[in-house]
C-alpha cells in the first residue's frame, strides 16, 4: 500500500480566481497545488488554511490553519462552492474541519454526519442552499393562503423583489452572472431598444415606442404572478427575463400545474451575448434561481414555439424534457419541463456538453 502522500492527487495552480458570494460576503478563491487560498473582497487578510485533494478515490477538503482556530461559516461555504466548481464531476466531498455552527449546517443540509463523525457535503444538497446565490434569501417560506385570480385558485404570492436577486460566478466565462429586478425608470430605454431589435421583435412581437413599452412594463409590475428581471454579465445588462407562477398563467390549462411551479420567458437584447457560451451560463442559472427562490418549487415549465428547434435543443441539454406540443391562440408551442430532482441530482447547473475550459486541466 502506498503512503498517504502518494495517494493524494493535486489540483493545478489557477491563473484566474473563482468567486463566491455566501451570506452577502464576496470571496476570491485561488488554487496553488492542493492549497486553496481564500481572499475576502473587503480587504481582510487571506486565508491559506484549506487543502483540496483526492485521496483513496474520495474528494477531501481539509482545514489546516491551526492558528485561526476555525473558519467563519461564510468562508466555509465559499470553500465548498470553490471545491465543487473546480471538481464538477464529484457528487460529494468529505470535510475535515472544525465547524462553529455545525448544528445549523446539519439542520439545513449543508453537512451530513456519517460514521466516525465524518462530515460529508453532497453537491445535490449544497447547490440548494439559497444563502450562497440569492442576494436576499428568505429565512422561511411564505405561508400558503389561497386566493382567486381570474377564476383560478392559487397561493397568495409574496411581494416582488427589488434589486439584485441572484449572483453566480461562471468559471468558463470568467464572469459573474446576475439577475436583478427590472426598474422602469432606469431600464425603459434599454428595454425599448431590445424590443425593437429585429431578432427580438420577430419572436416577441412587441416592437413599438417608449410609451408602449412603459405601459407593458407597468402591466408586468402590477401583475403579482410575473416578475421582470434583467440579466447581467459583470453588471452589463444583456437580456430580459420574465419569470412567472404557472398556476395562474396562461399555461396552466395545458398541464396539471402545482401550486409552486414556475416558468420563464427570455430575450437576449445585446447581440454579442447571443450564442452557446452565454446560453450555457444563463439557461441553467435562471432554472437554479427559480428552484432556490422557493424550496417548494418542484417543476419549471417553458413553452417555446414548436418550430424553435435551436431553443428546444438547448433546453434539452439543460435537463428540460419535451412533454407535448399544444396550441396557444398565437402559436403552436412545445411544453418543456425541468424537474427539481433531476436538476440537482444530475448537477445540471453546468450543462452536460458545456466546454468548461477553465476546468479542463483538473485531474479529478
Q: Dihedral through CA 35, CA 277, CA 133, CA 66, nearest 10?
A: 0
CB 176 within 8 A of CB 238: no
C-alpha span between 166 and 292 (Å, rounded)? 9
CB 132 within 8 A of CB 168: no
Which residue do the cell numbers 426598474 mark?
Answer: 183
What is the separation of C-alpha 236 from the centre of its chain, rounded to a whole number of angstroms?
18
Alpha helix positions (H), the chain: 4-7, 73-86, 102-108, 123-126, 130-133, 184-195, 198-204, 210-222, 276-293, 309-317, 340-345
Catalytic choice (218, 303, 325, 341): 303
Residue 328 Cα distances to 312, 320, 332, angstroms: 17, 20, 6
Residues listed for the chain: 364
C-alpha span between 294 and 192 (Å, rounded)? 31
Joined grid coordinates for residue 236: 452589463
List residues bridging with 324 in a β-sheet: 335
Q: Is 303 a catalytic residue?
A: yes
Which residue do the cell numbers 405601459 mark?
Answer: 215
- Catalytic positions: 303
Amino acid at each position: 500500500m502506498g503512503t498517504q502522500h502518494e495517494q493524494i492527487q493535486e489540483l493545478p495552480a489557477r491563473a484566474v480566481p473563482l468567486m463566491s458570494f455566501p451570506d452577502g460576503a464576496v470571496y476570491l478563491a485561488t488554487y496553488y497545488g492542493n492549497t486553496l487560498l481564500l481572499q475576502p473582497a473587503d480587504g481582510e487578510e487571506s486565508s491559506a488554511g484549506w487543502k483540496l485533494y483526492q485521496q483513496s478515490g474520495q474528494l477531501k477538503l481539509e482545514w489546516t490553519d491551526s492558528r485561526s482556530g476555525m473558519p467563519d461559516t461564510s468562508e466555509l461555504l465559499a470553500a465548498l462552492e470553490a471545491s465543487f466548481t473546480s471538481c464538477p464531476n464529484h457528487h460529494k466531498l468529505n470535510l475535515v474541519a472544525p465547524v462553529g455552527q455545525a448544528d445549523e449546517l446539519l439542520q439545513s443540509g449543508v453537512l451530513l454526519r456519517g460514521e466516525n463523525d465524518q462530515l460529508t457535503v453532497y453537491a445535490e444538497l449544497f447547490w440548494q442552499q439559497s444563502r450562497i446565490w440569492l442576494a436576499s434569501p428568505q429565512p422561511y417560506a411564505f405561508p400558503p393562503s389561497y386566493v382567486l385570480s381570474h377564476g383560478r385558485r392559487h397561493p397568495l404570492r409574496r411581494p416582488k423583489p427589488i434589486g439584485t436577486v441572484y449572483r453566480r460566478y461562471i468559471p468558463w466565462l470568467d464572469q459573474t452572472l446576475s439577475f436583478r429586478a427590472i426598474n422602469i425608470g432606469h431600464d425603459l430605454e434599454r428595454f425599448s431598444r431590445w424590443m425593437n431589435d429585429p431578432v427580438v421583435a420577430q419572436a416577441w412581437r412587441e416592437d413599438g415606442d417608449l410609451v408602449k413599452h412603459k405601459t407593458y412594463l407597468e402591466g408586468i409590475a402590477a401583475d403579482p404572478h410575473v416578475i421582470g428581471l434583467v440579466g447581467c454579465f459583470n453588471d452589463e445588462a444583456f437580456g430580459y427575463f420574465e419569470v412567472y407562477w404557472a398556476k395562474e398563467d396562461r399555461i396552466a390549462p395545458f398541464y396539471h400545474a402545482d401550486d409552486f411551479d414556475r416558468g420563464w420567458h427570455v430575450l437576449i437584447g445585446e447581440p454579442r451575448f447571443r450564442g452557446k457560451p452565454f446560453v450555457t451560463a444563463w439557461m441553467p442559472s435562471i432554472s437554479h434561481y427559480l428552484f432556490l427562490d422557493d424550496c417548494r418549487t418542484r417543476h419549471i415549465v417553458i413553452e417555446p414555439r414548436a418550430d424553435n428547434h435551436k431553443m428546444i435543443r438547448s433546453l434539452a441539454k439543460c435537463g428540460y424534457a419535451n412533454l407535448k406540443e399544444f396550441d396557444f391562440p398565437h402559436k403552436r408551442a412545445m411544453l418543456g419541463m425541468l424537474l427539481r430532482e433531476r436538476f440537482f441530482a444530475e448537477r445540471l447547473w453546468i450543462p452536460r456538453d458545456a466546454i468548461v475550459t477553465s476546468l479542463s486541466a483538473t485531474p479529478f
